[in-house]
Structure 1
Amino acid sequence: MLNLTSALSARVSALFGVHFFGYGLFLPFFPVILEFEGFSAADIGFVLGAGTVARIAASPLLTNLADRTGQRRWSIFVYSLLGTVFIALFALGNGLYVLGAGVIGYMVFKAPVLPLSDAYALDAARNTGADYARMRLWGSAGFVAANLAGGFLATGDTVWVMLFLIGLASLLTGGVVLSLPRQSGAGASEGLREDVGEAPFKAVWFWPVLILLGLFQATHAAFYGFGTLYWQAAGIADETIGILWAVGVIAEIALFTVAGKIALRFDPPVFLIVAGVAAIARWGLFPFADTLVSMIAIQLLHALTFGAAHLGAIAILAKVVPSKWAGTGQGLLATSIGLQMAIGLSVCGALYEMDPDLPFYLMAVVSAAGTLVMIALTPMVRQRMASNPVR
């Protein structure tokens, strides 16, 4: 059994790794690719903005479709294959409309892949005892590897290599998922009993909790949108900024390595409360970090502000959402994060123009509010988790 669990963990780890490798190339470097393809700044903003809106809308719809058909693994395969097809449109090189459709289509069909992969990994952890956090850390490792590779490939001569690798990563994601066995919680046609209980999506209590879970990730809006610009304005070298970003992801990986043991002592709401307290400190102190040592210390808190919040959120959903609808639950979480992140970026942009420190102070205030609400809701969340036994 141990060997079987180890083999399954390795394949799920590979699923996260190849998916995040492609995402780690796409997220920071696709604007560069579009610029080399002749897109203006306005075109890039429009295409990526439209893709973001479409991605946020598509995630819950496509994950729900996968849950309804009970074919979670095949859905990941099909969505990944379609993502590859849309990236392949860049081989045609036919201007704004074709390439814009390629970007938007890729973003739409890659949107449900991570929520469905999380749902599968959680089923694997539930059914075999595999460690979700240790599997998920390979996604973070793949993202870092892609960031490093992209830095060498983001030139006019090699940008096609980056496009090829993004498409290949999507194709490999589909290939890896087909190597995975069925999980008993992955839908009715994959062995799930029909008497598993109802999804909580119609319950009033579920939606405030979902918004709160997304809020903890959305407090990163100021940093994701303006952290690099803030450091550049402070005279920090680009190489040092790259190191600072890497420190945050490495800290996240370190937490994922030991999170399974920590979870034996602390339940998911505690993870979120700790994440909120860390976010108050991180964003409140961010403008005061004026030495490399203090900046690294701030970045180490990423293990908690992102890592602990992520683990707490998916663990709560894994308890309150039946396995049959786990993909939908994770898709709704992704939408909650995306919508709140978009709002946060818009507000932080306006504040940044007024005073570069203000967005980070706002994130600290939002983190404090979220932490207080999480503390208030913890008894109810624990009750809902206890009343929905693992299934």
Structure 2
Amino acid sequence: MGKTHSFRVVCVVENAVSEQFWQPVRQTLASNYFFFFAILGLTVPYMGVYLDLRGFNSEEIGALMAIIMGTRIIAPFLWASFADATGRRAMVVKVGAGMAMLGFSGLFFAHDFWSVALVLAFYSFFWNAILAQLEVLTLGSLGAKAHQYSKVRSFGSMGYLLVVIIGGWVFERWDAGLLPWIGFSLFVSLFITTLPLNAPIIRPNKDSSGSLKLTVTGALFILFAMGIQASHGPFYGFYVLYLQQLGIGESIAGILVAFGVLVEIAIFAIAPRLLGRYQLTSLMMACALFTALRWWLTAEMDSAAGQALATSLHAISFGLSHSCAMQYIHKEYPSHFQGRAQALYASLTFGIGGASGVYVSGHLWKLDHNYIWYLGVALALISVLAVLGIQWRNRLQRN
């Protein structure tokens, strides 16, 4: 009887803690992450397939995909500067979602290269305003519980997972010409879920007018993150097309990509414990080394089972590396610089890193499909060197 009573008490306490954690603002942020990454789950693996169906060649596909990532070079920092100056982060998220929804609808009417390029540039300029502000709002809502960031962020992975699986089945059963319709419905859902988002307006203080300073260690961190994200460029633009060359259809391709997201969700679940137990630089080194291994396996494995093995490393190459990056930024920069720090991270890593990776892949693809994965290996090894540099700087500072 005593054990039963104790069990009930524990359950009540756990439920109370869960309810306390899932405050309305965090529920709203979780739904925002869900639909934001659901859109990513559509565009990352299948936009290249859609463009190929529309008759664009590999160089044009690489250039068009690079536009989506290229707007991350400018857009996040511009929007973050506005958000930091006004304190209206929730408004930036809402405006970004609404304008991106309108911009994406242009795919219904765009047909040639330049019109499609204009549509992709317009919608992604506003779409790329969203994530950095979501990250700041989420970390701000967590306060001292910032290490539990992955609990909220994991809903984004769930959205990505769901759309990747459904998209693969839909596009194999019909074709990728349905992408604009599915994408537009997701953008509408994202916009609707941002409307309840509310956050206190934090007025800038005299400290926030200064410039964002980048230390040598900070520059090495950016190099680490850029190498990791640039190495993912081939995956963002050409992975499903690559699987088709191996004789693997869209449904299996969707399951493989979804499997990568599934293990990403798993790593998010244990990331707080890993970050609390191990040094950040040790985890970053593991991320870089396993990322290089992932792309080597992708090039060498020609079966679905082999690709599943390679894809399982997405947990580390993206999930853990992103968690490490969020922890670094949250600890290194004060609150009034958080927006710009997040934007700088997004601009340089996802923007320059991702865009350059996918653009170069478009040119390498026509030479040999495997070359794009060896490019990924080389870029991941640059991240290894960056982490070695950070560790060396840390030792110098301790001495």
Could you say which TM-score interval applies, normalised by the shorter chain?
0.7 to 0.9
Secondary structure of the corresponding residue to residue 264 of structure 1:
helix
1:340 aligns with 2:353: yes
Q: 2:56 aligns with which of 41, 54, 69?
A: 41
Q: 2:373 aligns with which of 340, 357, 360?
A: 360
1:166 aligns with 2:166: no
**Which residue is 1:389 aligned to?**
none
Q: TM-score, normalised by structure 2?
A: 0.80
What is the CA distance between 1:329 and its match in structure 2? Answer: 1.2
What is the CA distance between 1:108 and its match in structure 2? Answer: 0.6
Q: 1:323 aligns with which of 321, 328, 335?
A: 335
Distance 2:111 2:364 in 1: 35
Percent identical pairs in the alignment equals: 23
**Which residue is 1:188 aligned to?**
203
**Which residue is 1:16 aligned to?**
33
**Which residue is 2:262 aligned to?**
250
What is the CA distance between 1:224 and its match in structure 2? Answer: 2.9
Distance 1:112 1:273 in 2: 30
Contact conserved, 1:213 with 1:313, CA < 8 A, in 2? yes
Secondary structure of the corresponding residue to residue 141 of structure 1:
helix
- Count matched residues: 374
Distance 2:150 2:279 in 1: 14
1:143 aligns with 2:156: no
**Which residue is 1:70 aligned to?**
87
Q: Measured at CA, do residues 79 and 293 of structure 1 come closer, stay the same or move farther in structure 2, by a change above 3 Å?
A: closer
What is the CA distance between 1:312 and its match in structure 2? Answer: 1.0
Contact conserved, 1:47 with 1:103, CA < 8 A, in 2? yes
**Which residue is 2:13 aligned to?**
none
Q: Measured at CA, do residues 225 and 155 of structure 1 come closer, stay the same or move farther in structure 2, by a change above 3 Å?
A: closer
Distance 2:366 2:218 in 1: 36
Secondary structure of the corresponding residue to residue 236 of structure 1:
coil
Q: Report which structure shows greater RCO (CA 8 Å, sep ≥6).
A: 2
Q: Measured at CA, do residues 187 and 313 of structure 1 come closer, stay the same or move farther in structure 2, by a change above 3 Å?
A: same
What is the CA distance between 1:377 and its match in structure 2? Answer: 0.9
**Which residue is 2:246 aligned to?**
234
Contact conserved, 1:64 with 1:325, CA < 8 A, in 2? no
Distance 1:16 1:346 in 2: 27
**Which residue is 1:85 aligned to?**
102
Distance 2:385 2:288 in 1: 9
1:370 aligns with 2:386: no
Distance 1:372 1:286 in 2: 22
What is the CA distance between 1:326 and its match in structure 2? Answer: 1.3
Distance 2:245 2:115 in 1: 37
Q: 2:300 aligns with which of 275, 288, 304?
A: 288
Q: Measured at CA, do residues 302 and 45 of structure 1 come closer, stay the same or move farther in structure 2, by a change above 3 Å?
A: closer
Tell which deviates more after alignment, 224-233 or 309-318.
224-233
CA deviations 1:241-260 (Å, max 9, x no partner) are 22211111111111011111
Cα RMSD for the two superposed structures: 3.5
Contact conserved, 2:62 with 2:363, CA < 8 A, in 1? no
Q: Measured at CA, do residues 131 and 115 of structure 1 come closer, stay the same or move farther in structure 2, by a change above 3 Å?
A: same
CA deviations 1:49-88 (Å, max 9, x no partner) are 5554344322211122111111111211222222233345
What is the CA distance between 1:310 and its match in structure 2? Answer: 0.8
Unaligned ranges ≥5, structure 2: 1-15
Tell which deviates more after alignment, 68-77 or 17-26.
17-26
CA deviations 1:260-302 (Å, max 9, x no partner) are 1221102332221110111122222333324443322211111
Q: Measured at CA, do residues 272 and 236 of structure 1 come closer, stay the same or move farther in structure 2, by a change above 3 Å?
A: same
Q: TM-score, normalised by structure 1?
A: 0.81
Unaligned ranges ≥5, structure 1: 387-391
Distance 2:387 2:46 in 1: 36
Contact conserved, 1:59 with 1:331, CA < 8 A, in 2? yes
1:53 aligns with 2:70: yes
Q: Measured at CA, do residues 32 and 314 of structure 1 come closer, stay the same or move farther in structure 2, by a change above 3 Å?
A: same
Q: 2:151 aligns with which of 109, 130, 134?
A: 134
Contact conserved, 1:256 with 1:307, CA < 8 A, in 2? yes
